[in-house]
Amino acid sequence: MWKKISGLAIIGIIFCSLPYMVELYRMEVLIVLLFNLILAQSYRLVNTTGDWSLSHIVVMGVGAYSSALITKLLGWPFWLSLPVSGLVTAFIGFLIVFPLLRTIGFGFFIGSFALGEFVRLIWVKFRDPFGGPRGLINIPSAEIGPIDLYQPIPFYYFCLIIAAISIWIMYRIDRSHIGDTFKAIHTDPVLCETIGIRVPRYRAMAFVIGAFFAGIAGALMAHHQGAIDPHNFEATLMVYLIIYVVVGGIETFWGAALGVIVMTVIFEITRPLEEWRPLIAGCILILFLVVMPGGLDVLLPKTMKLFRKIPGIGQLFT
């Protein structure tokens, strides 16, 4: 137990001190890293039932658009619009997943891809209120009461808190009875059906919970960027999200987060080769799927021995 706490504390300290360890212009990267952590973990939650949705980026976009519209048009404060956007996204997530519940495997991948595109096209199509292809601009920056979160460092800490809470909740879900049911569905949906588990209900539940947190990530992103447009949620970015999760591996809870961190580092190192980035990403994806289908997770038993030497952290990765 104390090992776990100390492990968490070390990670917490690292994340808290990161802003003082990097140059200011890298703050942007750190903030995006936090969005991606929430996003990838929420995606992983959906994946635990075996449903690899290809609409998750669009689902995040729903959160971004909701929070932008809620604060812009309704004038609600940011602290209220953040959770409300999560709920709105969860609801839209339900609408997306509903027609897909009778499908498995490819039907689900492709169907979710197409339905995600449908939602995205709504934003392109309707100028009012979504702003059409140019999207929304002048989204109010985040502030809570008197605290202005416009500056990168306060915003980073705010996102860190939200990410910590979100990931903690997802962790609790993963370890709960519900999380076990999700995994059981992945292993053998037919068996689950025969022992009385309502498979469609749980698949929908995973998708909706995942959508909620993706929506939170989207809302944070919208207020951070100040402007969003349909291009921010294209299928290309969906592939990047898949890469995070594949690289990290989905066997353990922390795989997705690990993937985000590793890939962010790789992208930072290869920044001079920006136009080759998709190629690098594509190669990494293929390499992992073909050579190391379990992701970095599989390497963990080996790396764990190393980690165990550092008090606490090894415990975390079990």
Q: How many residues does the chain have?
A: 318
The 118-137 site mask, x for binding another protein (CB under 8 A), equals x--xx-xx------------
Q: How far is the CB of 164 from another protein (least distance, A)?
A: 29
222 vs 241 by CB, closer to another protein: 241
> Is residue 2 near another protein by the rule CB under 8 A?
no
Using the rule CB under 8 A, is 237 a contact of another protein? Answer: no
Q: Which stretch binds another protein (CB under 8 A): 161-169, 232-240, 253-261, 307-315?
A: 232-240
Q: Which stretch binds another protein (CB under 8 A): 114-122, 170-178, 253-261, 263-271?
A: 114-122
* Cα gap 285→86, rounded to integer Å: 30
The CB-of-46 to another protein minimum distance in angstroms stands at 13
Cα 76 to Cα 2, 72, 85, 127, 258: the distances in Å are 42, 8, 11, 22, 35
CB of 185 to another protein, least distance (A): 15
Strand partners, 57: none
State the binding string over 68-107 for another protein (x if CB under 8 A, else -): -------------------------------xx-xxxxxx
Asked if 165 touches another protein (CB under 8 A), the answer is no
Applying CB under 8 A, does 22 fall inside the site for another protein?
Answer: no
For the bound state, the minimum distance from the C-beta of residue 278 to another protein, rounded and expressed in Å, comes to: 4
Q: What is the DSSP string of the chain?
A: -HHHHHHHHHHHHHHHHHHHHS-GGGHHHHHHHHHHHHHHHHHHHHHTTT---S-HHHHHHHHHHHHHHIIIII---HHHHHHHHHHHHHHHHHHHHGGGTT--THHHHHHHHHHHHHHHHHHHH-HHHH-GGG-B--PPPPEETTEE--SHHHHHHHHHHHHHHHHHHHHHHHHSHHHHHHHHHHH-HHHHHHTT--HHHHHHHHHHHHHHHHHHHHHHHHHHHS-B-GGGG-HHHHHHHHHHHHHH-SSSTTHHHHHHHHHHHHHHHTGGGGGGHHHHHHHHHHHHHHH-TT-HHHHHHHHHHHHHHSTTHHHHT-
Our finding on whether 1 is near another protein (CB under 8 A) is: no
The residue (of 114 and 306) whose beta carbon lies closer to another protein is: 114
Select the residue interacting with another protein from 38, 243, 256, 258 (CB under 8 A).
243
Q: Residue 61 corresponds to which tokens in the numbers above?
A: 């976009």
Pull the structure tokens for residue 255.
């795989």
With CB under 8 A as the contact rule, the residue among 164, 235, 237, 266 that binds another protein is 235
Tokens of 238: 């969906």
For the CB of residue 300, give the shortest distance to another protein in the complex, in Å.
19
Under 8 Å between Cβ of 247 and 263:
yes
Residue with smaller CB distance to another protein, 10 or 285: 285
* By CB under 8 A, residue 228 contacts another protein: no
Q: Determine, following the binding rule CB under 8 A, whether residue 292 of this chain makes contact with another protein.
A: no
The reply on whether position 199 binds another protein by CB under 8 A is: no
Among candidates 109, 132, 94, 123, which has minimal Cα distance to 55? 109
Q: Does 290 bind another protein (CB under 8 A)?
A: yes
Q: Tell the smallest beta-carbon distance from residue 277 to another protein (Å).
A: 8
Q: Which stretch binds another protein (CB under 8 A): 29-37, 150-158, 211-219, 289-297?
A: 289-297
Residues that bind another protein (CB under 8 A): 52, 99-100, 102-107, 109-111, 113-115, 117-118, 121-122, 124-125, 235-236, 239, 242-243, 246, 275-276, 278-279, 281-286, 289-291, 293
